[in-house]
Amino acid sequence: MRVHNKHGDRIDPVPFLVTVGLAFMIAFSFGPIYGLAYGFALRAALALSGAAFAGATALAYRQLVRSAPAIDAGPLPPGPRVERLFYAAVGLGVALVALTLPLL
């Protein structure tokens, strides 16, 4: 599989594929259960899970494919890496709080 970023450089597709697989697993493992807990019908809960998966896939494609540096670009400086890690941790914390709301 030959995947290219927006500059036409070849990139490694494995991080994108792993991220999409995890997004599918999480969206369809927890999405319908929490949708039903919030009072949605099963069809609506599955549709929302599909929409969440599609959004996560689009975000992963933009971050890991379109705006990815080339393989031979060298390592990223530590500042942006720490900033991305911080924002990912905040996003995960918000998601975990949102998932616990129906359990209260």
- Structure confidence at residue 20 (pLDDT): 95
The model carries a pTM of 0.77
Count of domains forming the chain: 1
Mean pLDDT by 10 residues, the chain (104 residues): 81 90 93 89 96 95 86 78 90 86 73
Q: Answer yes or no: is 87 within a domain.
A: no
66-72 long-range contacts, CB within 8 A, separation 24+: 66/5, 66/6, 67/5, 67/6, 68/5, 68/11, 69/5, 69/9, 69/11, 70/5, 70/7, 70/9, 70/10, 70/11, 71/9, 71/10, 71/11, 71/12
Q: Is residue 36 part of a domain?
A: yes
Whether 19 is in a domain gets the answer yes
84 within a domain of the structure (yes/no): no
Range of the domain at 18: 13-77
pLDDT at 1: 66
pLDDT given at position 10: 84
